[in-house]
Structure formats: C-alpha cells, structure tokens
Amino acid sequence: MDSHEAILARHSARAFRPEAVPREVLERVFTLAQRAPSWCNIQPWRVCVTAPEVTRELSKLLLAATSTMAIEPDFAFPTKYPEPYSKHRRECGAALYGAMGVGRDDGEGRRRAWLRNYEIFDAPHAAVVSMDRRWGTYPAIDVGVWLGTLLVAMTAEGLAACPQAALAAYPSVLRELLHIPADEGVLFGIALGFEDGAAPVNACRTTRSPLAENVRFVGF
Ligand SMILES: Cc1cc2nc3c(=O)[nH]c(=O)nc-3n(C[C@H](O)[C@H](O)[C@H](O)COP(=O)(O)O)c2cc1C
C-alpha cells in the first residue's frame, strides 16, 4: 500500500479483534512515526503503549471512573462548537450512531456508545499520549503531526486505530496505572489493533468538506 492509498484507507475503527499485535510490528510503526517533523525538532510526544493485560486493567479502571469521578482533562476539551464546526460534529455523530443503530432520541444507546470508549473498543492495545505541561500551541501541533503520521503508518501496516480524546478525561487514572510523570499532561489515547471487519460500527465513514471550504489558492 503506498502513502496515497493508506491516507484514503485510514478511518477510525471502533471494534477490534482480540489478537495482540506482535511487539516488532508495533515498534516498526512507532519508529516510522518518529520521523514526524516538529518545532525545532523538539519531538514533544510522550507515549505509553499497553500490552493486552494492561489495556484490560486500564479499561476496568476507566469504566469505574465514569461513574465515580468528574471529567478533568489536563488540557481543556472544546465545549462550544460555532458553525460550521457544529454541523460537522452533528454529521460525524449521525454517521457513527447510524452505523451503530443508535437512534437520535436513544439516550441510553448514546450512553452505551460513549462507554465503548472506556472499553477501549476491546482493542488489545492502547497508546496514551502526553506532553510536557509547560508547552503550548506549537508543540501540541507537533503531537498532532506525529499522530497523523502514525495513523497512516499503521494503516499501511494493516493495523487499525481510533484516536480517543475520551481516554484523556480521567488523567489521574492513567497517571497512576501507567506511571505518567506529574509534569506531563495527557492529550489523548489511541485504541489500536486489528480491525473487526464484521462489526457494524466499523462501517462508519465520515465525509470531508469541498477543498474550497478549507484551502484558498492565491495568485493562480
Ligand atoms: C485528537 C482526536 C481525538 C478523538 N477522540 C475520539 C474519541 O474520544 N472517541 C471516538 O470515538 N473518536 C474520536 N476521534 C475520532 C474522530 O471522531 C474521527 O477521526 C473523525 O470523526 C473523522 O473520522 P475518521 O477518523 O474515520 O476519518 C478522535 C480523533 C482525533 C484526531
């Protein structure tokens, strides 16, 4: 698969087969993503990848946190979505809930869908991504560039993934189990493994705006 094909094939997977990914395959894709560019080459991403047993323990603790703890991300989640972002968010939700067969007014179904995040979608591995709390916007961009590079590298390798800001909602749980240093803030997690191709949720596909909504060409 070349990079063009991998970019087009990549999508967020939200159901995984139970098999672990061999460690050498994980090391290969994470090594490739190390090539991502960053501000002054500071490489600010800090990543903890869990083996299946640790992933299940993490899931158990996070599921418990959903009913006992307040959401307290280290980096604030967006709370307001002005247009056109609100429209994109609604469409993304409709695509996901549609694939899961969850109706618009099915509050319980939506809660179950949200809780699937904390089951880490049954993925055998999670990558928890943090960065030094002292950094601001530009190093966070670097981590985003790294994430994009990693996701494409994983697709080319036959792996599936879903970035998960939801995993950053309870950072104290992650910090304690995974020994994330206090001076690092958790940005997001990534569920990763082999895609369960039979799961209806994995039929979810999102659309993109026409190019002119995002990109202007000047002087052509
Ligand atoms: C930083 C980041 C955080 C995300 N957090 C979540 C999440 O918590 N749960 C989830 O199901 N999807 C999450 N996603 C996946 C997005 O919903 C998805 O990328 C978007 O809808 C586009 O769909 P696609 O990845 O299939 O192209 C996240 C994506 C990114 C880049």
Per-residue pLDDT of the chain (220 residues; tens, 9 = 90+): 899 999 999 999 999 999 999 999 999 999 999 999 999 999 999 999 999 999 999 999 999 999 999 999 999 999 999 999 999 999 999 999 999 999 989 999 999 999 999 999 999 999 999 999 999 999 999 999 999 999 999 999 999 999 999 999 999 999 999 999 999 999 999 999 999 999 999 999 999 999 999 999 999 9
Nearest residue (by CA) to ligand 1, atom 27, is: 11
Q: Rounded CA gap, 172 and 153, in Å? A: 30
CATH class of 3-126+152-207: alpha beta
Q: How far is the CA of 165 from the centre of ligand 1 (A)?
A: 8
CA angle 134, 192, 63 (to 5 degrees): 75
Q: Which pLDDT belongs to residue 168?
A: 98
DSSP for 40-95, written as a single string: GG----EEEE--HHHHHHHHHHHHHHHHHS----SSPPP----TTHHHHHHHHHHH
* Annotated domain spans of the chain: 3-126+152-207
Q: How far is the CA of 177 from the centre of ligand 1 (A)?
A: 24
Nearest residue (by CA) to ligand 1, atom 18, is: 12
Task: Kindly report the number of other CB atoms within 10 A of residue 199's CB atom.
Answer: 18
Residue 16's SS3 state is: strand
Give residue 64's region: left, alpha or beta (phi > 0; psi -120 to 50): alpha
> Which atom of ligand 1 is found nearest the CA of 10?
27
Residues 118/10/29/13 CA torsion (nearest 10 deg): 20
Q: How far is the CA of 220 from the centre of ligand 1 (A)?
A: 34
Q: Is the CB of 201 under 6 A from ligand 1?
A: no
User: Which of 47, 162, 186 to mutate to test ligand 1, by most ligand atoms within 8 A of the CB atom?
Assistant: 162
Q: Which pLDDT belongs to residue 104?
A: 86
Long-range interactions of 21-30: CB distance < 8 A, separation 24+: 21/124, 21/125, 21/159, 21/192, 21/193, 21/194, 25/157, 25/159, 26/125, 28/157, 29/150, 29/153, 29/154, 29/157, 29/159, 30/150
Closest CA to 121 of 63, 178, 173: 63
**In what order do the strands lie in the sheet containing 125-132?**
46-49, 125-132, 184-193, 160-164
Instruction: Report the predicted TM-score, pTM, of the whole model to 2 decimal places.
Output: 0.97
Helices 23-33 and 137-156 cross at an angle (nearest 10°) of: 130
CA 219 to chain centre: 37
